[in-house]
Chain A
Amino acid sequence: MSTTELHQQVRERFGVETIDDRVVALGAAGALCLLVSAITFLIGSPFTALPFAGFLFTVAYGLYEYQAATAKALSFLATIGTGTILALITFYLLVEALPAIRLMGAEMFTSTSEPMWRTRGEEMYSLVPMMWGTLVTTVLAMLIAGPLGVAGALFISEIAPDAVREVVKPAVETLAGIPSIVYGFIGFTILNDYMMESLELPTSGSLVIVGLVVGLMSLPTVVSVAEDAIASVPESMKSGSLALGTTDWQTIKSITIPASFSGVSAAVLLGVGRAIGETMAATVILGHAQRLPDPLYDVFGNTETLTSLIASQYGVASGTHMSALFAAGVVLFVSVTVLSIGSQYIERRMKHQLQGES
């Protein structure tokens, strides 16, 4: 946003409350300092510290002299900052990904002819195997996390006695806290060996283990979000059903689940987002082969996911190769953001509907 707009914002927001011109001037000075330090930081100038110190000084003076207005301005800045980070992420990912996309064109997302990934000589970057790998692991993960997660949410919200709930709920949350690298380490040292030994797999690592581990990891997300949705079904709807003489389970089946259906699907979508973005478990477990499994549905085969591609190759990549990794990041970012916005839309609709019904 330009300085004049910012001035106007400051005037609009603070002029009404305090007609003091000095507040406006101070706000403008602070905003200018921050803007200059943002610009110097963006161009990588070593002088960033100067305007930033000016900003800090303005804030300190403002907090001392006009506390209310300064606090409001700061909170506004924090809000803008949150949005700016998303914008910066989008911008930098796209800019860095452009060279590879320009080189490959649409083939980057469609080409299935061998070789699909060659970083030396005649470069070739097709993301198809990675997208397939991500798709397969995500589907496998959701086959686990979806039904089990919803059942777990039903248990916590509707079925468990209070004492049991007090144990199960924190335990599920804690499960979400186990770092993915720990899962990955267990998968790498224990599961990979187990699968190679018992299933005679030719290579270490397979999509099915990643799917399993990632499913376990996205389970807590599904449980807690679905539980929120199920708990938000108004008590009056359930009591109405119970008063007709139904069993608890009949009420759950015909009232609670249908009423919370959109919220529960939002939970599953969020779980899908988590599964798509899961990096370390896939990186550590998979054998990193950038080709499609043969046949396509061979889940015991080895391929690559978008996330593991980035994590395993960033260290050796440069130039177009690095740019291709950013393109993988763009695919990840776009799909997860679409899922996030979709689940928010569904959630909002559900809230709207429930308010209409209760």
Chain B
Amino acid sequence: MFDRVALGIVGTAIVTFLLGWTTLFDRTSPDTAVAGLSLFALFGVAFLLAGAGLIAAGIASNVGLFKTTADQYTGLGTGVAFGVVGFATGGLVTTILFGVGATGSALAGLVVALIVTLGIAVLPEDIGTTLPVGLLALVWGVLLAAGFVDVGWVWDPPSLAATFHAPIVVPLVTIALSLLVAWSGAIVAEGFGSQGRQNGAYLMIGLNAFGMIAVLLLLILFVVRKGLPTLLEGAQFGPGLSISVPFLTKGVMLGQQYNGIFPAIVGTVWLVVGAVVLAIPMGIGAAVFLTEYAEQGRFTAVIETATNALWSTPSIVYGLFGYAFLVPRFGNRNSLLAGMMVLGFMLLPLVVITSREAIKSVPDEYRDASAALGVNQWQTIRSVVLPAAMPGVVTGVILGVGRIAGETAPILLVTSGAPFPARAPSILGSFRFTATPPFVQNEALLQASSALPYQLYAVITAGVGQEEAFGWGTALVLLLVVLGFYAIGIASRIYFRRKLHQ
């Protein structure tokens, strides 16, 4: 009976939690009526029931109606957590009801927080974890069910630019309170004590993980749904194996039935290829030197710090660097080559870090066994260490490539040209050898190019209108490219790990 009530409370809270999100994103309308009650009134009733249930459970445990393992005191940790809730509630309520300014409401919030923290910390655990949540739920339930806060409710704080309407505020408060109620209910369900607290904490942490997956899936699905119509516009499948998707194979030209992003795709491919060609030999070389040749000391520590600093350097700073350093040296204009080099510099630290990890994890026995055959250090590295480390290196590189393929900021500064070009750069076809310096010329490499992320940015800056669908199509292709790299990278890691454990 006792844990059934508790599970009911948790279940109710999770339902209101999910409904809160759907209401926030306009998937369920606040006007939805079930059995004559509006959605908000339903929330109110749910909170009234849950609050009453929690308080009843707490008191029942406290007076000994049910045998639980509640501790003597709630403890300071939970007290502080409630203090934070008290601060938010106290501060908001005082501003909304009495219209005091920021300082006043912060002070009021602090006072409430202090009282709540100390008060709850010394309460018996079964009261301390249920009563405050229950009371909050009851108050919120009354406000909603009795119609004090209905769809037309508005709060316009004088100091903020925003005006808060009920369709936003009610779901937000409901989501926050639902979490509290679910946590408290989960504690009750295990009969308080250390088991109860574990249950409560695990529920919260699990919901968080679930939330992250949900966000990822929603993002992807959303982009797919928005972008797919554009991507498939004018696409023909068949007869037989002939497939034509103009969005992927055409540029933007006047008088063309379907415009596409082919030049941007080619631009991104070349950028990635260039960056990989630059970063991989250099990165693996540095990793080999740091792990195999160099003595671990000052020098390696400095390089390691520098690598990590490079890794966390913001992409726009790389862009500025390319703008100041590379662009003037490549004919003072944006060029594909500058973009390749900047992206290569960005990829480099990641290659160094992951390759080092991979090389370090090769067991020393391998090296000893090879050395025992009488070969020198380089032969050991070449035929034993590097092959053994390759899976880790490859995985790291693929993930890194996924990252730089979506980079926009550096391209914006060093590569971008016409936002919607008609033709793709032809790199292979434009090598020229001349008798005068610089002897090798490649017009296409030194010319500005488009790239998928840049094209998306161009759609935004061009002002959204009829271009928006084009933007969603681009976003979908970009997402597919990047997630494709990630999928391959993660799959290869799983594959190699399985192989290792066989």
A and B interact physically: yes
Interface residues of A (CB under 8 A from B): 41, 44-50, 67-68, 71-72, 74-79, 81-83, 85-86, 88-89, 92-93, 95-96, 148, 151-152, 154-156, 159-160, 164, 167-168, 170-182, 184-186, 188-189, 195, 198-203, 206, 216, 219, 223, 246-250, 270, 273-274, 276-280, 283-284, 295, 297-301, 307, 310-311, 314, 325-326, 329, 332-333, 336-337, 339-341, 344
Chain A contacts for B161, CB-based, 8 A: 201-203, 206, 298, 300-301
Distance, CA A75 to CA B352, complexed state (A): 11
How far does the Cβ of A113 sit from chain B's closest Cβ, in whole Å? 22
Q: Which interface residue of B318, B324, B438 has the most chain A CB atoms within 10 A?
A: B324
Q: Please state if A93 and B162 are interface contacts (CB–CB under 8 Å).
A: no
User: With A and B bound together, what is the CA distance between A337 and B183 in angstroms?
Assistant: 39
CB distance from A310 to the nearest CB of B (A): 5
Residues of A within 8 A of B308 (CB): 340-341, 344
**CB-CB nearest 4 A-B residue pairs:** A277-B314, A179-B406, A78-B285, A249-B198
CB within 8 Å for A280 and B409 given contacts A78-B281, A159-B206: yes
Q: Contact: A79 with B378, CB < 8 Å? A: no
Structural contact, A280 and B310, CB atoms closer than 8 A: no
A sample of 11 more A-B contacts (CB under 8 A), given A79-B289, A92-B324, is A48-B438, A77-B285, A151-B208, A168-B213, A173-B486, A178-B479, A182-B406, A279-B315, A295-B102, A314-B320, A332-B316
Known: A178-B482, A181-B453. A68 touches B376 (CB 8 A): yes
Query: Is B438's CB under 8 angstroms from A179's CB?
Result: no
Is B438 in contact with A44, judged by CB distance below 8 angstroms?
A: no
B349 touches A82 (CB 8 A): yes
Give 29 A-B contacts (CB < 8 Å), ordered by A residue.
Answer: A78-B281, A78-B289, A82-B306, A82-B310, A86-B310, A95-B324, A96-B324, A148-B212, A154-B205, A155-B208, A167-B213, A171-B213, A176-B403, A177-B482, A177-B486, A178-B219, A179-B479, A182-B456, A182-B479, A186-B219, A186-B222, A200-B162, A206-B162, A250-B194, A277-B312, A278-B314, A341-B305, A341-B308, A344-B305
Whether A189 lies near B464 (C-beta < 8 A) is: yes
> Smallest CB–CB gap between A252 and chain B, Å?
8
Residues on the A chain within 8 Å of B219, using CB: 178, 182, 186
**B226 CB → nearest A CB, Å:** 9
Query: Shortest Cβ distance from B390 into chain A, in angstroms?
Result: 16
> Is B502 engaged at the interface, CB distance under 8 Å to the other chain?
no
For B403, the closest partner residue in chain A by CB is A177
Q: Which residues of A are found within 8 Å of B223, using beta-carbon distances?
A: 182, 186
A314 in contact with B323 given A48-B438, A82-B286, A155-B209 (CB within 8 Å): yes
Contact A279 B408 (CB under 8 A): yes
Q: Which residues of B approach A to under 8 Å, CB–CB?
A: 102, 159-165, 167-168, 194-195, 197-198, 201-202, 204-206, 208-209, 211-213, 215-216, 219, 222-223, 281-286, 288-290, 292-294, 302-303, 305-321, 323-325, 328-329, 345, 348-349, 352, 376-379, 381-382, 399, 402-403, 405-409, 412-413, 437-440, 453, 456-457, 459-460, 464, 468, 471-472, 475, 478-479, 482-483, 485-487, 490
Bound form: Cα–Cα A276–B314 in Å? 8
Specify the chain B residue showing the minimal Cβ separation from A72: B293
Q: How far is the CA of A293 from the CA of B104 in the complex (A)?
A: 20
Which residues from chain B contact A329 at a C-beta distance below 8 Å? 316-317, 320
Closest to A175 in B: B216
Q: Which residue of A lies closest to B194 (CB)?
A: A247
Bound together, the chains give a CA A93 to CA B317 distance in angstroms of 8
- A307 and B471 CA atoms in complex are apart in Å by 23
Indicate if the CB atoms of B283 and A326 lie closer than 8 Å: no
Q: Which residue of B lies closest to A85 (CB)?
A: B345
Q: Is the CB of A83 within 8 A of B306?
A: yes
Q: Are A340 and B312 closer than 8 Å at their CB atoms?
A: yes
Please report the C-alpha to C-alpha distance between residue A50 and residue B440 in the assembled complex, in whole angstroms.
10
* Interface-central residue, B197, B317, B471, by most chain A CB under 10 Å: B317
B residues in contact with A277, CB < 8 Å: 312-317
